[in-house]
């Protein structure tokens, strides 16, 4: 019998959480416990989707008009320019800029900057030429994998200044090894305004993530809450099964799939999917979807989440999802989906999908 070596590539894992959330005060946003910690864990967000019943759209839309469309920038610069005194002081030590370079964590070189933490994902040749101290990166395996390394610096530490030995070593490497200009995406991850003068000096292109709207989608409403019998019995397996059905349905709504649209009559030979407990006798409802796409921070997603929680009527449901950029060759990304069931008294369901590099 042939022995098949295990693949070094791991499938994404999905973790489901059922919980309750107390009253949310926009002036004192919580930072501990779920869903708040899960939102903060999302790093470089590429897309956000909000699904709501169409009958509350006007209420939510009014709140959205009070928000400015998030801005981000596309700029070509070297890693060494990020470490120059003015940029380092204004945007990293005093500000909270978030940056993502072109590249993948699993091939070539990739640089990321978030919360003052600079991470360099390097191939073996570059790592050896750089002469920096790092750690092996990636899943261990014996086929198809090339050694990769991760080098990390907290640029907000007091030692991260020109004239200090460790910092000057990094600057030297940026001048002599990591000296190729690369394309970056950058955005302000702080709640306070950010001056863009230095970015403008680098000929950065400003972009905005204005929401797009899809509406008038008629669907048969499925049950959007975990049955009380499952919760009373503490049946984890039944909870996961019920939550998986809801997650699948919400994902198809996000994709605007015809499979969840009322009146769909596709041949079962082509698709056997059927919404759980939905049939022609169920009430047909209209839903709409608001989507933002660009380069978004978790702090922006958190403020959006607070606005939705406080503006949506308690008897209505909503689903909010955030998806990060893919940073490996397989296209894997991390994702967070949050569902507040109708008339839930603070109950929520949350799915965290985590990709493995």
pLDDT value at residue 332: 76
- Indicate whether 42 and 154 sit together in one domain: no
- Indicate whether 221 and 186 sit together in one domain: no
Domain count, the chain: 2
pLDDT value at residue 75: 97
pLDDT value at residue 8: 47
pLDDT value at residue 142: 41
- Indicate whether 126 and 171 sit together in one domain: yes
Three-state DSSP state, 258: helix
- Indicate whether 99 and 19 sit together in one domain: no
Q: Give the mean pLDDT per block of 10 residues along the chain (357 residues).
A: 45 89 87 93 96 94 91 97 96 96 86 97 94 85 68 96 93 96 96 89 95 86 87 89 93 91 86 73 82 96 95 93 84 90 90 84
CA-CA distance, 301 to 322, in Å (whole number)? 8
pTM as predicted:
0.91
- Indicate whether 85 and 166 sit together in one domain: yes
Determine the structural domain holding residue 285 and report its residue range: 13-68+211-354
In a domain, 3, yes or no: no
In a domain, 324, yes or no: yes
pLDDT value at residue 346: 86
pLDDT value at residue 199: 93
- Indicate whether 222 and 187 sit together in one domain: no
CA-CA distance, 13 to 298, in Å (whole number)? 21
- Indicate whether 104 and 238 sit together in one domain: no
Instruction: Mark which of 162, 193, 208 sits at the end of a domain.
Output: 208
- Indicate whether 134 and 202 sit together in one domain: yes
pLDDT value at residue 140: 60
In a domain, 19, yes or no: yes
pLDDT value at residue 285: 87
Instruction: Mark which of 178, 208, 238 sits at the end of a domain.
Output: 208
State both tokens at 179: 């000296």
- Indicate whether 256 and 172 sit together in one domain: no
pLDDT value at residue 159: 93
């Amino acid at each position: 019998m042939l022995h098949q070596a295990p693949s070094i590539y791991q499938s994404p894992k999905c973790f489901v959480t059922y919980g309750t959330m107390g009253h949310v005060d926009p002036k004192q946003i919580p930072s501990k416990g779920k869903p708040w910690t899960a939102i903060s864990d999302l790093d470089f967000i590429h897309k956000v989707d909000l699904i709501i019943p169409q009958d509350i759209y006007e209420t939510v839309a009014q709140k959205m008009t009070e928000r400015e469309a998030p801005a981000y920038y596309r700029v070509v610069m070297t890693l060494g320019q990020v470490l120059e005194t003015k940029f380092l002081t204004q945007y990293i030590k005093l500000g909270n800029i978030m940056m993502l370079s072109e590249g993948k964590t699993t091939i070539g070189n990739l640089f990321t900057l978030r919360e003052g933490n600079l991470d360099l994902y390097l191939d073996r040749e570059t790592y050896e030429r750089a002469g920096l101290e790092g750690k092996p990166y990636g899943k261990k395996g014996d086929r198809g994998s090339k050694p990769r390394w991760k080098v990390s610096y907290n640029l907000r530490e007091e030692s991260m200044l020109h004239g200090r030995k460790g910092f000057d070593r990094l600057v030297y490497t940026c001048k002599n090894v990591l000296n190729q200009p690369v394309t970056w995406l950058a955005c302000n991850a702080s709640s306070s305004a950010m001056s863009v003068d230095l970015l403008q000096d680098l000929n950065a292109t400003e972009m905005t993530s204005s929401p797009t709207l899809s509406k008038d989608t008629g669907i048969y409403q499925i049950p959007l809450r975990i049955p009380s019998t499952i919760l009373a019995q503490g049946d984890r397996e039944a909870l996961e099964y019920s939550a998986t059905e809801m997650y699948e349905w919400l994902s198809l709504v996000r994709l605007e799939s015809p499979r969840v649209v009322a009146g769909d009559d596709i041949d079962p030979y082509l698709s056997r999917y059927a919404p759980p407990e939905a049939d022609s006798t169920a009430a047909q409802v209209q839903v709409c979807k608001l989507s933002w796409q660009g380069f978004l921070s978790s702090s922006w997603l958190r403020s959006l989440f607070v606005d939705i929680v406080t503006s949506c009527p308690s008897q209505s449901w909503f689903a909010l999802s955030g998806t990060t950029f893919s940073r490996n060759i397989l296209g894997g990304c991390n994702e967070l989906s949050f569902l507040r069931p109708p008339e839930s008294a603070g109950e929520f369901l949350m799915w965290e999908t985590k990709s493995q590099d």
